[in-house]
């Protein structure tokens, strides 16, 4: 197994891969080498025959306290522009076609909040500390926060959060639809995230990939096109073995044994 400096990688449950951000001295601030390692790890989970769903977490104290401010401070416009600074973060949403569950405890600020928003399912602790504080640094969110947070909470609330830089709790994240579920402790959070990933990993890989693909399309397409896209892929799955296996098992009151074909 490859060794990493800023992350840890494991397979804690059958079918489940885990990436743990591990830069404790900087509260998991997301420096460029960390993002490069994260992308490498996700690509290797994508290629792995044993991993079917992935959990992304940080520590109890910090999921991630943002992009690395010390790295960004001296950047000039032309350096940021010509090197497409931050663009590689988007690989997170394209490198992995398997579902990604973010388990957020502690700080998820700036780029940390944006990273969590890129996950397919976001779980958090009640006391998690989310926010887009970039305005306090004289800048704006740069890793999709203004777009994904606005889609999640609506325009007025997103404006308030991004223009004031005020943080919001895990409780609020769940109430506003940013988080799918909220947990009372870090232990419960990890149990919940790994359990959900394990559940997903127990289904047909073909159907799971298709399900993720169609939900993501809802973020990009107008409703009519999205519904049509879904129907096309639904039709396509009649060509999979697992659709036959799943429906036959239901009729025979048996557990489906997926072929993943």
Structure tokens at 165: 């830089």
67 labelled catalytic: yes
- Any contact of residue 67 with ligand CAA (CB under 6 A)? yes
- When asked if residue 107 is in the footprint of ligand CAA (CB under 6 A), the reply is yes
Active-site option among 15, 111, 170, 192: 111
CA distance 171 to 29: 23
CB closer to ligand CAA, 42 vs 115: 115
Q: Which of 106, 112, 134, 173 is catalytic?
A: 134
- Residue 111 makes contact with ligand CAA by CB under 6 A: yes
DSSP 202: T
Residue 92 near ligand CAA by CB under 6 A? no
Q: Out of 41, 67, 116, 143, which one is annotated catalytic?
A: 67
65 is catalytic: no
**Minimal distance in Å, beta carbon 60 to ligand CAA?**
13
Out of 142, 186, 193, 197, the residue judged to bind ligand CAA by CB under 6 A: 142
Nearest one of 180, 118, 176 to 152, comparing CA atoms: 176
Q: Would you say 131 and 168 are in contact if contact means Cβ atoms under 8 Å apart?
A: yes
53-57 β-sheet, strand order: 7-13, 16-21, 53-57, 100-104, 121-125, 181-183
Please state the closest distance from residue 17 (CB atom) to ligand CAA, in A. 25
Smallest distance, ligand CAA to C-beta of residue 154, A:
20
Tokens representing residue 47 in the block: 């290629």
| Alpha-carbon distance values, 80 to 30, 102, 141, 142, 240 (Å) | 16, 28, 14, 11, 45
* Shortest distance in whole angstroms from residue 168 CB to ligand CAA: 14
User: Is residue 110 a contact residue for ligand CAA (CB under 6 A)?
Assistant: yes
20, 37, 98, 114: which one contacts ligand CAA (CB under 6 A)? 114
Q: Is 213 marked active-site?
A: no
- Do residues 80 and 33 lie in contact, with contact meaning Cβ atoms separated by under 8 Å? no
CA dihedral sign, ordered 214, 217, 223, 225: negative
Interaction site with ligand CAA (CB under 6 A): 26-27, 29, 65-70, 86, 107, 109-111, 114, 133-134, 137, 141-143, 145
| Residues designated catalytic | 67, 111, 114, 134
């Amino acid at each position: 197994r490859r060794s990493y400096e800023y992350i840890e990688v494991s397979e804690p449950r059958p079918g489940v891969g885990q990436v743990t951000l591990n830069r404790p001295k900087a509260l998991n601030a997301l420096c460029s080498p960390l993002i490069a390692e994260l992308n490498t790890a996700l690509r290797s989970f994508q290629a792995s025959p044993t991993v079917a769903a992935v959990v992304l977490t940080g520590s109890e104290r910090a999921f991630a306290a943002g992009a690395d401010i010390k790295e960004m401070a001296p950047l000039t416009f032309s350096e940021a522009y010509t090197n497409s600074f931050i663009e590689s973060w988007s690989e997170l949403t394209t490198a992995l076609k398997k579902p990604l569950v973010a388990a957020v405890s502690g700080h998820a600020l700036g780029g940390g909040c944006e990273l969590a928003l890129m996950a397919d399912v976001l779980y958090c602790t009640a006391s998690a500390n989310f926010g887009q504080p970039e305005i306090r640094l004289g800048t704006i969110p740069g890793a999709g926060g203004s777009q994904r947070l606005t889609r999640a909470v609506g325009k007025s609330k997103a404006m308030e959060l991004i223009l004031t830089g005020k943080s919001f709790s895990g409780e609020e994240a769940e109430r506003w639809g940013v988080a799918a579920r909220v947990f009372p402790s870090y232990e419960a959070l990890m149990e919940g995230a790994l359990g959900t990933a394990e559940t997903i990993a127990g289904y047909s890989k073909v159907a799971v990939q298709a399900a993720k693909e169609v939900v993501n399309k809802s973020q990009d397409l107008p409703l009519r096109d999205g519904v049509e896209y879904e129907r096309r892929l639904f039709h396509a799955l009649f060509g999979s073995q697992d659709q036959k296996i799943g429906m036959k098992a239901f009729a025979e009151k048996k557990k489906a044994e997926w072929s993943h074909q």
